[in-house]
Amino acid sequence: MSAPLELSVVIPVYRSAETLRELVERLTTVLGAAAGTPQSELVFAVDASPDDSLERLAELQRSARGDTALRVLVGARNVGQHAALRAGFRAARGRALLVLDADLQYAPEEVPRFLEAWRGGADLVAGWRRSRSDAYFARVLPSALFNAFARWWSGVSLRDFGCGFCLLDARLVTELERGGARRRFLKPLLGALAHRAVELEVASAPRAAPSAYDLRALARLALWFAVGWSPRPFGALSVLGLLLGACAVLEVGSCGTTLAALGAALFASGALGLAWHRALQREPDPGEWRELSAP
């Protein structure tokens, strides 16, 4: 078995062919120049991308140089970013895993800052975007609303759950596997699991392609987050509904019919939420992944 490296950079890939060469060149330069960095690897998880991302990576793998290994995981079919990241996590050999988007929205030159914070004792180093180049009403404001809701609902105090730039200690990966439905929400779950989380401000460049998260998608994500994060609020609703129903049966108060109706509505809402939460515990199909053989 290969000796563990210090750092694995895990990068999900979908429609990213135009930025891959520059990304690899900049990462290779940065990782080669970072003081104290021994060996590292780049782990690309190609999520059945319909463009020529795989061909570009195969070419880059053939011409890889230096101490930074370039590994390519290939999905048999499109299963989404979450499954691609988990495939990359399972394959990574580093003692620290850094998640980075392939579209160059975040500068690879920031990686040494994340490594320095991890070496200083943080088991989670989370990026957050103080300023953004996205449209305010279409992206920035909805993202801020979702972040505020996620902080309140989860109790995790990270400022930017949507920033895909973060570094985690490899010991957290095992905990992630036991996260149940919360695995679908990587950044909040990491924040909940981390013993010491550090946030670093990062610059955000214009996107190479439009974001998949418009206002409707963010609203849907907030709903799934509310249901999938914890069953306790729904259990409380069901208990409250039962109590109100009992009060109505015992004719406590003068509004028995109203109490009965309200109790039934709360109980039904809680039961539905619990059923949905339980359904989300089923592990999504991760698909089949194979590693492209190095030349």
Task: Identify the CATH number of the domain in which residue 120 sits.
Answer: 3.90.550.10
For residue 45, what pLDDT is reported?
Answer: 97
| pLDDT of res. 247 | 79
Beta strands at 5-13 and 289-291: parallel, antiparallel or unpaired? unpaired
Is residue 285 a part of any domain in this protein?
Answer: no
Residues 25 and 102 in one domain: yes
Shared domain check, 129 and 56: yes
pLDDT of residue 148: 93
Give domain status of residue 274, yes or no. Answer: yes
- Residue 262 pLDDT: 86
Contact predicate 20/55, CB 8 Å: no
Task: Give the integer Cα–Cα distance in Å for 102 and 245.
Answer: 54
- The reply to whether 39 and 116 lie within a common domain is yes
**What's the Cα-to-Cα distance from 94 to each of 12, 140, 147, rounded to whole Å?**
17, 34, 30
Mean pLDDT by 10 residues, the chain (295 residues): 80 95 94 69 95 95 80 93 91 96 94 96 94 72 88 93 94 83 84 95 74 71 87 86 79 68 88 86 79 81
Alpha-carbon span 92 to 86, nearest angstrom: 10
Domain that holds residue 69: 5-134+157-209
Residue 288 within any structural domain of the chain = no
Beta strands at 166-169 and 94-99: parallel, antiparallel or unpaired: antiparallel
Residue 130 sits in the same domain as residue 178: yes
Rounded Cα gap, residues 125 and 115, in angstroms = 8
Q: pTM here?
A: 0.85
d(CA 16, CA 105): 12
Residue 13 confidence (pLDDT) = 96
Helices (H), 138-231: 141-154, 171-177, 186-193, 215-229
Please count the structural domains in the chain: 2
Q: Which whole-number Å values give the CA distances from 216 to 64, 143, 146, 228, in the listed order?
A: 41, 12, 12, 18
Q: Name, in order, each residue with C-beta under 8 angstroms of 86's C-beta and a sequence gap of 6 or more.
A: 176, 183, 286
| Residue 251: per-residue pLDDT | 65
Determine, yes or no, domain membership for 268.
yes
